[in-house]
Amino acid sequence: MTLPMKVPAERASLLLLSILICVVLSAAAWAAPVAVPSDETQRLGEQMYRKGILPSGAPIKAYVSGDVPVDGTSFTCVSCHLRSGLGSIEGEVITPPTNGRILYQPRKPFIPGSEFVPSYSNYAKYLPVRPAYTDDSLAALILTGIDPTSRSVLKVMPRYDLGEKDMAIMISYLKSLSDQPPPGVTKDEIRFATVIVEGTDPVAVQSMLAPLQFSIDRKNSLSTAAEKNHRVARMGYNMLGDLSALRFSLSRWTLKGAPATWRAQLEEYYRKEPVFALLGGISEGEWEPVHRFCEEKKIPNLFPVVDYPVLSDTDWYTLYFSRGVRQEGEAAARYLYGMAELFKGKPVLQLYRASRKGQTLATGFRESWKAIGGGAMTEVRLSANEKLTTKKVLKLINQKKPAALVLWDDAASLSALSGLAAQKNRPGLVLASGTYLGKALWAVPEELRGLLYLTYPYRLPQEDSRFDVNVKRVLQGKPLELYEQRIVRQSYLTGEVFGKALMMMRGEYYRDYLHDVIGMMSDMHYPLYERVSFGPGQRYASKGSYIVQLGSGSNPVLERRSEWVIP
């Protein structure tokens, strides 16, 4: 073999040497393991990224809008690039991904796998192309805001004042973000599960499952049709990109026995069948072991049907429909506070049943009432079996002379209130929980209806009926009466939100990103809840309650007595 042109021996040797060095270096690079940050580096990087705190404990110094000096604690990386590092879209600003996997690749004017998807969430089409970052060019960007093409990024991106060591920790952390595919995601399938606590009313379970299974089947039928029909395949791809070919599966994980044993059962289910996320789920009592499991394993759980969600300002992985029963107590406090000036120093009397529901409502009311400075309050607890009588109610009214009576009990206590409306020294209003009364809400005695106000944390039924058509669709012709309406509607919402979220994820099926995209969603108007609203870090879809009264007549409707009350 001869060279096509004459090369001097010396130059040929140099060329060979260069090639050899390149090969050796390439091989070394290939063979070298990807640097995995130590646990400590990871912890410090996370602290910088999420809290804006340097390893020294001092806040990172930063500048925004050109020259506004700020603490990194109020301008953290996570606030714009979000927990997954995969960026955000908000208002007029698109924040690109900042994870190593994407930064260290050249940026094209599309997201690979979604080249032709004309969606707003296909953000890359709005961004200029750029070469791959290196550690040096990434450090330069963080320090100066100048990218590898010498462009200055938007002024909203702070310029962070980081020393060499801190910068290395930060870059190491960025490389770890959304880097490894999570369990439950393969190139063909995304696996989900739903948790059912044994002993839950079968109608309630079926009402939770039917809309979820409909969402899963609907998606899979698209994949099946796409395999058989080229036009459907093209349409599916144009809308969903790579997602169109993926199949979904939904397993049922049934928890048996005492809540203390659930953790081991969940571990076993998860070991046998890792899932990307838990969808829905249902329990008539405890949910905390499932919540804790999800928190520790970093598994998203979208909207379990529970009355007692775990309330936390910092937990991340479980999204709830609301703050549960407690939210009604909190809203009642806010509503009464709005009229507290009329109380003229008289107290609020809180009378509550020593049941879980009664105590949760009472705690919500008590804590909110105190926090907002609601004035005098007196409380009476009814033991689990104690019957509330008219005599006892009147005695309490005469003793305490309350401006308002807050009563947290089921329908059993309603009869004790009869005759109260006719009393001269009665409180101005009685406030109770619409959901605690349950179906008895529709049978409040006529003479009490003018005095009794109720918390009602949903859209009024007569206004929500316009969504019946949506709900019937997911039940596929089965009669609505066979299902628990509230739960079907809740589960319908779950199916819609997770479907929309997966579309917005554009192939980046990472657990933190699932929550990140839900946080970016516009407010939604779905059945049951007046306004389903998220924002970055928000964990409760619906956050308030109406105060209503039951209208008169034999076929009464609920009448709104307040705007949507936010506790």
Partner 1 sequence: MKHHLPWLICLLLFASVLTICPVSPAVAAPVTYKRTVEKYQIPDVILTNQFGKKVRLKTLLESGRPVAVDFIYATCTTICPVLSAGYTNLQRKLGPDSAKVQLVSITIDPENDNPRILKEYLQRYQARPGWDFLTGSRKDIDRVMHAFDAYFRDKMDHKPLTFIRGADGSWIRLYGLISSSEFMAEYKKAGLL
Residue from 142, 222, 406, 488 in contact with partner 1 (CB under 8 A): 222
- Hey, which residues between 304 and 343 contact partner 1 (CB under 8 A)? none
Q: Is 102 an interacting residue with respect to partner 1 (CB under 8 A)?
A: no
Closest CA to 248 of 499, 511, 494, 518: 499
User: Residue 67 or 188: which CB sits closer to partner 1?
Assistant: 67
Interaction between residue 535 and partner 1 (CB under 8 A): yes
Residue at 135: amino acid letter: D
Please tell me the distance from the alpha carbon of residue 53 to that of residue 56, in angstroms, as a whole number. 8
Closest to partner 1 by CB, 153 vs 397, is: 153
**Residue 64: CB minimum distance to partner 1, A:** 5
Helix (H, G, I), strand (E, B) or coil at 188: coil
Which H/E stretch holds residue 190?
strand 189-197
Q: Which is nearer to partner 1, 254 or 470 (CB)?
A: 470
Find the part of the chain contacting partner 1 (CB under 8 A) among 43-51, 121-129, 245-253, 393-401. Answer: 121-129
Reading phi first (left if > 0) and then psi (alpha if -120 to 50, else beta), residue 281 is in left
Spatial contact of 489 and 528, defined as CB atoms under 8 Å apart: yes
3-state secondary structure of 159: strand
Answer yes or no whether residue 361 interacts with partner 1 by CB under 8 A.
Answer: no
**Residues for the chain: how many in total?**
567
DSSP letter (8 states) at residue 260 = G
- Binding residue for partner 1, selected from 85, 99, 123, 548, defined by CB under 8 A: 123
Tell me the closest approach of the beta carbon of residue 39 to partner 1, in angstroms.
28
The residue with tokens 């462009």 is 151
Q: How far apart are CA 50 and CA 47, in angstroms?
A: 5
Examine residue 105 and tell whether it contacts partner 1 (CB under 8 A).
Answer: no
Nearer to partner 1 (CB atom), residue 415 or residue 562: 562
| Shortest Cβ 123–partner 1 spacing (Å) | 8
Least distance to partner 1, CB of residue 421, Å: 29
Of residues 187-206, those binding partner 1 (CB under 8 A): none
The three-state secondary structure class of 146 is strand
Closest CA to 514 of 275, 317, 322, 296: 317
- The secondary structure of 60-124 as a DSSP string is PEEEETTTEEEETTTS-HHHHHTTTSS-EEETTEEEPP-SHHHHTSPBPSS-TT-TT---TT-GG
Q: How many residues bind partner 1 (CB under 8 A)?
A: 73
- Footprint (CB under 8 A) of partner 1, residues 370-399: 371-373
Do 48 and 173 touch, CB atoms closer than 8 A? Answer: yes
Stretch that binds partner 1, among 118-126, 165-173, 458-466, 551-559 (CB under 8 A): 118-126
Minimum distance from CB of 459 to partner 1 (Å)?
A: 14
Q: Applying CB under 8 A, does 146 fall inside the site for partner 1?
A: no
DSSP-assigned letter for residue 455? E
User: Least distance (Å) from partner 1 to the CB of residue 318?
Assistant: 17
Alpha-carbon separation of residue 389 from 128, 173, 434, 537 (angstroms): 73, 64, 20, 46
Considering only the stretches 17-25, 29-37, 125-133, 383-391, report the one whose residues sit in contact with partner 1 under the rule CB under 8 A.
125-133
91 touching partner 1, by CB under 8 A? yes
Under rule CB under 8 A, residue 211 binds partner 1: no
Question: Which residue number, 409 or 496, has a Cβ lying nearer to partner 1?
Answer: 496
d(C-alpha 36, C-alpha 41), whole Å? 9
Pick from 42, 46, 94, 110: which binds partner 1 (CB under 8 A)?
Answer: 94
| Cα–Cα dist 61/72, whole Å | 6
Distance CA 207, CA 191 (A): 21
Q: Which of 48, 53, 54, 82 binds partner 1 (CB under 8 A)?
A: 82
Give the amino acid at 352.
Y
Tell me which residues in 152-181 interact with partner 1 (CB under 8 A).
152-156
SS3 542: coil
Nearer to partner 1, 421 or 475 (CB): 475
Angle at 39 between CA 37 and CA 41, to 5 degrees: 55
**Nearest approach, Cβ of residue 512 and partner 1 (Å):** 14
Q: Interface with partner 1 includes 564 (CB under 8 A)?
A: yes
Q: CB 230: neighbour CB atoms within 10 A? A: 9
Q: Is 363 in the site for partner 1 (CB under 8 A)?
A: no
- Identified binder of partner 1 from the candidate list 533, 556, 557, 559, rule CB under 8 A: 533
Which residues, numbered 225-284, are part of the site for partner 1 (CB under 8 A)?
A: 225, 229, 232, 235-236, 239-240
Give the shortest CB-145-to-partner 1 separation in angstroms.
Answer: 10
Sequence-separated (6 or more) residues with CB below 8 Å from residue 293: 262, 263, 266, 267, 299
Shortest reach from residue 92's CB to partner 1, in Å? 5
Q: How far is the CB of 198 from partner 1 (least distance, A)?
A: 32
- In angstroms, the Cα distances linking 14 to 19, 118, 158, 397 are 9, 51, 47, 102
E strand or H helix at 513: helix 511-519
Give the nearest distance from C-beta 303 to partner 1 in angstroms: 17
Closer by beta carbon to partner 1, 394 or else 521: 521
- Report the residue number, 49 or 253, with the smaller CB distance to partner 1: 49
| Segment 50 to 79, residues that bind partner 1, using CB under 8 A | 64-70, 73-75, 79
